Amino acid sequence: GSLTANSSYNPFEVVHAFARATGGEGFVLPVPFIVDSPSDRDVLLSQRTVQQALGIARATTVAYISIGELTEGSLLRQQGMISASELAALRAAGAVGDTNGIFFDDDGEAVAHPMNARTIALGFDDLRAARVVALVAGVAKARAARAFLRSGIAKGLIVDGDTALQLVADA
């Protein structure tokens, strides 16, 4: 999802900057990243523009996705996309990170939690069909990165030096 309530983080700018830098074309998913309920998700998924954007995403051969950690300092918390109680509930369900709005455990498997039914993005099955490159920046994301790598979805990894060293030290 590309709609956020906080202007300090603008996914539109990220998509368009990446498209300019690569000579590609940028498309955004015109919905919130996390919606209020599964029924809201169903309504938004029924929209033609959302289906078109997801269709483009499913047709990709390479997908660059970021990995997020589940801490009070994470982007999801800092931007108010999830509440403190939602964060606690996700962690209690075993979640250690997220990507594409999918919350996963230490084995890189989606956790059984209602939040995973409130996000609009490609799921793990769709991601397995593409060549996924995981993007990780920050040592705080090392555990989530390691967990996501266990899923086998990522075919590549772009990581900063300190996090790479942490991943190697933990191996």
Of 12 and 129, the one with more pLDDT = 129
Q: Tell me the angle at which helices 142-150 and 161-170 cross, rounded to the nearest 10 degrees.
A: 60
Per-residue pLDDT at 17 exceeds 90 = no
What is the pLDDT at residue 78? 87
pLDDT digits (tens, 9 = 90+) for 146-156: 999 999 999 99
Sort residue 111 into left (φ over 0), alpha (ψ -120 to 50) or beta.
beta
Residues 118-147 pLDDT 10s: 999 899 999 999 999 999 999 999 999 999
When pLDDT is averaged across residues 34-41 and rounded to a whole number, the result is: 93
